[in-house]
Amino acid sequence: MDLYSRKILSWSFSKYRSAKLVSKTVLNAIKENNCTSDTICHTDQGCEYTSHLYVNTLKEHGLQMSMSRKGHCWDNANMESFFHSLKTEMIYFNKFQTLEEAKTHIINYMNFYNYERIHSGINYLTPVLCEKQAA
């Protein structure tokens, strides 16, 4: 997530958490967005984010690494808020029959979140409109 615009920059799906998954997601974010040496990638302290693969992916692309303190979920409050919105606005209201069905709904929600959902923290704009106005 871009903290200024609240836009979700990239996402990936897998049945399992892994360093490969999060590194792939970072590479997609780099490819799709204007990431610079000022870009900070903030995460919790999960093992996939402390892995050599993930750390080296950030270093190779000149991105800054930042991690929440143990037990301090508010260090990453914007992402925690996003996951709360995803769950309460979409996931809890659906009974998915397959992983593919869940993926389809989540992708649709991500597009809704970026292009249609307004946010009080960015003057009631959508993330994409906020990003465009800042450009």
CATH code of the domain containing 39? 3.30.420.10
* 100 and 62 in a common domain: no
pTM (2 decimals)? 0.87
* 93 and 54 in a common domain: no
Q: What is the pLDDT of residue 122?
A: 95
Q: What is the pLDDT of residue 135?
A: 80
Q: What is the pLDDT of residue 124?
A: 97
Locus of tokens 């989540």: 106
* 88 and 57 in a common domain: no
For residues 55 and 45, give the distance between their C-alpha atoms in angstroms, rounded to a whole number.
12
Q: What is the pLDDT of residue 55?
A: 96
Q: Go through 27-64 and write b for each residue having 16 or more CB atoms within 10 A of its CB, e for each that does not.
A: eebbeeeebeeebebbbbeeebbebeebeebbeebebe
Q: What is the pLDDT of residue 70?
A: 84
Q: Are 65 and 57 in contact (CB under 8 A)?
A: no
> What domain count does the chain have?
2
Q: Determine the number of helices (DSSP H) and then strands (DSSP E) in the chain.
A: 5, 2
Low-confidence residues in the chain, pLDDT < 50? none
Which residues contact residue 20 at a Cβ distance below 8 angstroms, ignoring those fewer than 6 apart?
53
Domain with 61, as residue range(s), is: 9-67
**Residue 62 identity:** G
Q: Is the dihedral angle over the CA atoms 86, 92, 98, 99 positive or is it negative?
A: positive
Q: What is the pLDDT of residue 15?
A: 85
* 79 and 49 in a common domain: no
